[in-house]
Structure formats: structure tokens, C-alpha cells
Amino acid sequence: MASIDDFRFESHQLLLELDAATMGMMMLVSSGCVSGPEWDAANKRQHDAYKCWDAFNNLPPAI
């Protein structure tokens, strides 16, 4: 069984990645780069970070 500290640590790591990925996309938007390989890579990073965060939040409760 994972402790609350383990949960908080993992949650924090996932949120840091999601925030960094989202910020990367927003930087591309502000620079006018919303297509092409750089945009595709940023979009994939943000999508993957969100999927990991969502999966973590929807884990069955530990009993």
C-alpha cells in the first residue's frame, strides 16, 4: 500500500510534467508556431502528460 507521501510525490511529478508540456505548447502559440514537427512534438508531449495524469487519478483505491 502506497503512503500519502508516495501519492503526493507521484502526483507532483506528473503535474510538473503536465505543466511543462502545456507551457511549451503555449510558448509555441505565442510565437505563432502552431503547425509542423515542433508543434506535433509539443502536442504529443502534452497529450501523453495528460494521459499519465488522468490514469494516475483514476487508479482504483488501495485497500
Give pLDDT tens digits for 3-17.
Answer: 889 889 999 999 999
CA 10/CA 16 separation, integer angstroms: 10
pLDDT in tens, 11-45: 999 999 999 999 999 999 999 999 999 999 999 99
- Regarding pTM above 0.95, the answer is no
Distance CA 24, CA 58 (A): 26
The span from the CA of 16 to the CA of 57, in Å, is: 15
Angle at Cα 53 formed by Cα 49 and Cα 58, nearest 5°?
145
